[in-house]
C-alpha cells in the first residue's frame, strides 16, 4: 500500500470516518489546503465546507463539516467538528447537508428564541420586584 495516514473525523454525536487516506484537502480560515502523509505536523481551525480525501483504495470521498479543528500529528489526522455528514457523491451530499444542517439550524433558532423569551421574562420579573420594593 502507498504512503497513507489515518483520518478520524468525529462530532459530539458520532464517528463519521475512521480509516486510511492517501491525501486530504480541507477549508481553513486562510483558504483551501492539502495534507499528505509526510506533511509536517499541523493544526488548523476549519470553516464550514467539504473535506475531500482519497482513501487507501484510491477512491475519492467527501465529508461536509460545520467548521471544527484539524490536528495532524505524524501520520494521524483528527478532525473534531460540531456536525458532519459523509458522502461519496457531491450532489447527494449537498442535498443531505441542506436537509440535515438546515433542519438543525431551525431547531437551534427555536431553542435560542425560547431562551430569549425566558431571559426576557426573568428581567421583567426582576423589574416588577424592584418596583414593588
pLDDT-derived band of residue 33, with 50, 70 and 90 as boundaries? very high
- pLDDT tens for each residue of 59-106: 999 999 988 999 999 999 999 998 888 988 887 877 777 777 666 666
23 pLDDT higher than 70: yes
Q: What is the pLDDT of residue 6?
A: 97
37 pLDDT higher than 90: yes
19: which strand partners? 7
Of 3.10.180.10, 2.60.15.10, 3.40.50.720, 3.30.70.890, which CATH number belongs to 5-88?
2.60.15.10
Over residues 5-30, the mean pLDDT reads 94
pLDDT-derived band of residue 16, with 50, 70 and 90 as boundaries? very high
Q: Please tell me which residue, 114 or 52, carries the higher pLDDT value.
A: 52
Pairing of strands 42-46, 68-73: antiparallel
**What is the chain's length?**
133
Is this prediction's pTM over 0.75?
no
Pairing of strands 5-10, 76-80: parallel
47 pLDDT higher than 80: yes
Q: What is the pLDDT of residue 8?
A: 98
Residue 88 carries which DSSP code? Answer: S
pLDDT-derived band of residue 21, with 50, 70 and 90 as boundaries? very high
Q: Hunting for cell 433558532 — which residue is that?
A: 109
112 pLDDT higher than 80: no
Amino acid at each position: 500500500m502507498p504512503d497513507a495516514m489515518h483520518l478520524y473525523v468525529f462530532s459530539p454525536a458520532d464517528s463519521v470516518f475512521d480509516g486510511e487516506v492517501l491525501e486530504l484537502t480541507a477549508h481553513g480560515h486562510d483558504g483551501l489546503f492539502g495534507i499528505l502523509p509526510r506533511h509536517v505536523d499541523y493544526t488548523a481551525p476549519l470553516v464550514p465546507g467539504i473535506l475531500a480525501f482519497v482513501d487507501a483504495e484510491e477512491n475519492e470521498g467527501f465529508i461536509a463539516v460545520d467548521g471544527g479543528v484539524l490536528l495532524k500529528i505524524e501520520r494521524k489526522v483528527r478532525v473534531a467538528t460540531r456536525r458532519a455528514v459523509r458522502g461519496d457523491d457531491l450532489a447527494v451530499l449537498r442535498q443531505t447537508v441542506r436537509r440535515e444542517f438546515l433542519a438543525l439550524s431551525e431547531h437551534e433558532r427555536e431553542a435560542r428564541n425560547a431562551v430569549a423569551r425566558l431571559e426576557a421574562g426573568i428581567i421583567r420579573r426582576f423589574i416588577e420586584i424592584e418596583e414593588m420594593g
